[in-house]
Chains A and B, each alone.
Chain A
Amino acid sequence: MTTIPNLVGAGLIVIGAGLGIGKIGGSAMDAIARQPEASGKIQTAMLIAAALIEGIGFAAFFMGK
């Protein structure tokens, strides 16, 4: 059932997940700028961390639905 608290909760979680992924992306950018030769490793680590957060975001999305 889609109720207003459900939607607000899901929205809050999605905002949190968005901020988290943004932080990861930003930090990875900084790290790559500092050490361009390590960009491959940084990218991998970034994608894994982003994927883990994304999972939570999607779980919230489906619970809100």
Chain B
Amino acid sequence: MLISRKTIQLFIATVFAVLPVFTFANADTTHVAKAAHAEVVNHEGDAPKEVVSEEVKAQEERAEFIQHHLLDSHDFHLFSYGKESGHEKHVGFPLPVILWEDGLHFFMSSEFHHGEAVAESNGKYFAINHHDGMVYNTDAKGTFNVDEKHHTTNTKPLDLSITKNIVMILFVALLMFVMFRNLGKSYGKNGGIATGAGRFFEPIILYVRDEIAIPNIGEKHYKKYMSHLLTVFFFIWFLNMFGLTPLGVNVTGNIAITAALAIITYLITTFTANKNYWGHIFWMPGVPPLMRIVLAPIELLGTIIKPFSLTIRLYANMVAGHIVLMSIIAMMYTFNNVAGSGFSFILAFVLSILEILVAGLQAYIFTMLTALYFGSANEEHHHDEEAHH
């Protein structure tokens, strides 16, 4: 070890010991300054409200930023700058918007001007609602009608746009297609040995086959499920990893996408199940007849709960990871000093490493449970066999 453990311990202890000095000192000065400011402007009427609201506004802005990161969006926004000078510039690129509302509407999302303008297409007006990032039908001024519960009452067009999430899905699909096709081809060219990125991915593919598919599904049936298991594993893993890059994508943290993946698993399980699987659901062997009637609805419900839990697990894990990571980064702006920023940086760094682990782990667990469900659909009648052994 280059640096001894004692040094690190001492360093961490010093950071924690000095932290309050920095933070309290800073907080105090702002407090005093604010009080003085408030006193000065008190004679002028309603100005003190502005002073207090500035901090609240900054807090709300941060919360909104995190909220927006978790939502899908119609343009690929990378970063913004120049907010202090008043001329805020957004860097990114627009994506096509495809809407169906009494006919097809097709235009680029740059017409929305990052959600600030109303887009007009074939005599219809559309605007993006800031709360959910979705496109609504509006009038020429882009007004949103709100009921007493703050729900928008405007109607929505059928939105078939190529949004940020869809761009990432297509990108990952293309990446996987090219990469694994080349991996497959390289075996033929190089005498049965993988080349390039394949050297890295071959052990992972073998792991999925030998540690996930075969033990859970069985030697006899595993082959027909391998394509789905490998696709799901790499799709989730890659998208999780892209979620950790500064591109700001959050595809696996979108419940619609995880639900779609779980529904595919459910459909494959249901349509490839043998008669033992259905026998275990509707007429559980080995229990008294009365219990069989009680168990049937529970088991039937269980088949739906399984994909539901797959959906929620992946979605919630990714969303929670993103919220925590972004909140820790936002702490930099809350502390607004060197010690706070350093603390936030260390915490965010360690958490990012944990998130890399979680990205792989969630892909593994999703694939593992999918294989488990496939295995249960293919289980042979083995209760009598076990009794013999």
- Enumerate chain A interface residues (CB-CB to B < 8 A): 40, 44, 47-48, 51-52, 54-55, 58-59, 61-62
Contact = CB atoms under 8 A, between A and B. Distances in A.
B361 A54 contact: no
Contact of A59 (B215, B316, B369, B372): B316
B320 A58 contact: yes
A44 B365 CA distance: 9
A61 B316 contact: yes
B320 A47 contact: no
B316 A47 contact: no
Nearest to B313: A55
A15 B287 CA distance: 36
Nearest to A40: B211
B364 interface: yes
Contacts of B361: 47
Contact of A58 (B313, B364, B365): B313
Contacts of B372: 48
Given A58-B312, A58-B313, A51 B369 contact: yes
Contacts of B182: none
Contacts of B365: 47-48, 51
Interface of B: 211, 215, 309, 312-313, 316-317, 320, 361, 364-365, 368-369, 372
B232 to A, nearest CB: 15
Q: Give the dominant DSSP class at B's interface.
A: helix
Given A52-B309, A55-B312, A58-B316, 15 more contacts: A44-B211, A47-B361, A47-B364, A47-B365, A47-B368, A48-B365, A48-B369, A48-B372, A51-B313, A54-B313, A55-B309, A55-B316, A58-B312, A58-B317, A58-B320
A57 B68 CA distance: 24
A14 B46 CA distance: 44
Contacts of A44: 211, 215, 368
Nearest to B212: A44
Contacts of B215: 44
B320 A54 contact: no
19 contacts: A40-B211, A47-B361, A47-B364, A47-B365, A47-B368, A48-B365, A48-B368, A48-B372, A51-B365, A52-B309, A54-B313, A58-B313, A58-B316, A58-B317, A58-B320, A59-B312, A59-B316, A61-B320, A62-B312
B360 to A, nearest CB: 12
B317 A54 contact: yes
Contacts of B313: 51, 54-55, 58
B247 to A, nearest CB: 25
A3 B368 CA distance: 37
Nearest to B309: A55
Contacts of A62: 312, 316
A44 to B, nearest CB: 7
A47 B361 CA distance: 9
A47 B368 CA distance: 10
A44 B369 CA distance: 11
A59 B313 CA distance: 8
Contacts of B312: 55, 58-59, 62
Contacts of A58: 312-313, 316-317, 320
B373 to A, nearest CB: 12
Among B316, B361, B368, B369, chain A packs the most CB atoms within 10 A around the CB of: B316
Nearest to A56: B309
A41 B369 CA distance: 15
The list of the 3 closest CB pairs from A to B, nearest first, reads: A58-B316, A55-B313, A55-B309
A47 B312 CA distance: 16
